Amino acid sequence: MATLSDVARRAMVSKMTVSRVINHPEQVSPELRQLVYNSMKALNYVPNYVAQALVHHRTQVIKLLILEEMDTTEPYYMNLLAGIAVELDQRHYSLQLVTRSSHTICRCDGLIVTGMREDDYESIISRLEQPVILFGENMKGYDYVDVDNKKGMKITTEHVMAQGCSNILFYGIDIEEPFMLSRIAGYEETMKGKKLLPQINLMKNSSHIAQFEAEKVLKKISERVAFVCASDRLGIGVVHAAQRLGMAIPDQVMITGFDGVFLDRIAQPKLTTVRQPIVEMGKTCAKLLLDKIDQDGRSQGICVYKPELVIRNTTVH
């Protein structure tokens, strides 16, 4: 594999000239510049990123710290990772995947953190020395990327209302984290705006729990009802409940999910859901983080994505 010296020798210039052509081409005369370009092409030169990293006191490694139990959200993260990977590759960074138990010594240039809970801000996140971007909204002032959770829940609630249903239940996850509070607020405000009574039900993010809860409700209900769920997993559970009781979807029971990343397509009938552009969001996390690193840790602000309602057969024919 050709090095800078090889390129220099072939172009009959010094290593520095080659280095400049790569990093500050405007500082080199057009003639030499062209000579160097030719030489690089001829030798198929690719910089040694390890050597660059050494001089720059960098590692070219960023870590993805997943603080959540991974099997709770599995399919979700693969997309996030795919997005992150695209951006990192382009900029010659690589990735380390770490969890709560393995984030001790931190040889990396920056971190993307996700799945954090209230306690983690003080005990983990505030102690990190490298630039950080959080994946997931937070109210502690950290840079983050997320979807507009409140709006997402607002548009689903309005959607089922528009189908002529006013008995609308909310199924959410029983954790007091910003993303969930926002989803609850989106539902609650929309209901109150229409003078309807919010009915909020929080539970573990499990399709079986949701099914169990929904069956109890459905057994003693006669009128048309809608379940707006804060995750596709919960949504699928409610679908199962309605099916077990032989109730018609969407005529008797309407169901919506949230995430739109995988499970929504497995459900039968396919789930109406709020799609989050996770891959895109992953790319943005990485982009913001790398920019932050380049800018010596300067805050990059927040990036909130517009949620997209994907209407399918659990709410319309």
Partner DNA sequence: TTGTAAGCGTTATCAG
Partner DNA sequence: CTGATAACGCTTACAA
223 vs 221: CA distance, rounded Å: 6
Q: Is the Cβ–Cβ distance between 232 and 260 less than 8 Å?
A: yes
Burial class (CB in 10 A: 0-12, 13-18, 19+), 130: middle
CB of 108 to DNA, least distance (A): 15
Residues near its own copies (CB under 8 A)? 46, 48-51, 53-54, 58-61, 70-71, 74-75, 77-79, 81-82, 85-86, 88-89, 92, 94-98, 102, 105, 107, 207-208, 211, 233, 236-237, 240, 243-244, 262-263, 266, 268
- Quick one: 37 or 262, whose CB is closer to DNA? 37
Specify whether the CB–CB gap between 220 and 280 falls below 8 A: no
The reply to whether 224 sits near DNA by the rule CB under 7 A is: no
Which range of residues in 2-10, 109-117, 159-167, 235-243 is near DNA by CB under 7 A?
A: 2-10
- Minimum distance between the CB of residue 97 and its own copies, rounded to whole angstroms? 4
Residue 27 in the binding site for DNA (CB under 7 A) = yes
Shortest distance, CB of residue 1 to DNA, whole angstroms? 7
Q: Is 177 exposed, middle or buried (0-12, 13-18, 19+ CB in 10 A)?
A: middle
Residue 298's binding partner, choosing from its own copies, DNA, none, with beta-carbon cut-off 5 to 8 A by kind?
none
> What's the min distance (Å) between Cβ of 293 and its own copies?
15
> Which range in 30-38, 131-139, 159-167, 217-225 contacts DNA by CB under 7 A?
30-38
Can you tell me the distance from the alpha carbon of 290 to that of 161, in angstroms, rounded to the nearest whole number? Answer: 43
By CB under 7 A, tell whether 32 contacts DNA: yes
Whichever of 78 and 128 has its CB closer to its own copies, that residue is 78
Using the Cα atoms of residue 124, residue 150, residue 75 and residue 62 in order, give the sign of their dihedral: negative
Q: Assess contact for 111 and 67: CB atoms under 8 A.
A: no
Size of the site for DNA (CB under 7 A): 28
Backbone phi and psi for residue 59, each to the nearest 5 degrees, phi listed first: -115, -20
Partner interacting with residue 34 (select from DNA, its own copies, none; CB below 5-8 Å by kind)? none
Give how far the C-alpha of residue 281 lies from the chain's centroid of Cα atoms, to the nearest Å. Answer: 5
CB closer to its own copies, 156 vs 207: 207
In whole angstroms, the minimum distance from the beta carbon of 57 to its own copies comes to 9
Q: Which two tokens stand for residue 56?
A: 């720059």
Looking at the Cβ atoms of 23 and 126, the one nearer to DNA is 23
Window 41 to 60, contacts with DNA (CB under 7 A): 47-48, 51-52, 54-57
CB of 39 to DNA, least distance (A): 12
User: Of 9, 19, 120, 224, which one interacts with DNA (CB under 7 A)?
Assistant: 19
Question: What is the smallest separation between the CB atom of 297 and DNA, expressed in angstroms?
Answer: 18
What are the residues binding DNA (CB under 7 A)?
A: 1, 3-5, 13-17, 19-20, 22-23, 26-29, 31-33, 47-48, 51-52, 54-57
